[in-house]
Amino acid sequence: MDIAALNQEFEGKAPQQIIARALGLPGKAIITTHFGPLEAVILHMACQVKPDIQVVWVDHGYNTKATYRCAEEIIRKLVLKVDVFTPKVSAARQDAALGGIPMYTEDSHVAFTEHFKLEPFRRAMATHSPDIWLTALRKEQTEFRQSLQVFTQDNKGVLKVAPLFHWSEAQMRDYLADHELPNEDSYYDPTKALENRECGLHTSTL
Q: Looking at residues 68-74, what average pLDDT do you find?
A: 97
Mean pLDDT value across the chain:
90
Domains and CATH numbers, the chain: 3-178 (3.40.50.620)
Per-residue pLDDT band at 133 (split at 50, 70, 90): very high
Least confident range from 31-40, 127-136, 143-152: namely: 143-152
Give CA torsion, residues 169, 65, 99, 103, to 10 deg: 20
Partners of residue 30 on adjacent β-strands: 54, 133
Give the tens place of pLDDT for each residue, 13-56: 999 999 999 999 999 999 999 999 999 999 999 999 999 999 99
> 137: buried, middle or exposed (CB in 10 Å: 19+, 13-18, 0-12)?
buried
Identify whether the C-beta of residue 175 lies closer than 8 Å to the C-beta of residue 19: no
pLDDT of residue 162: 96
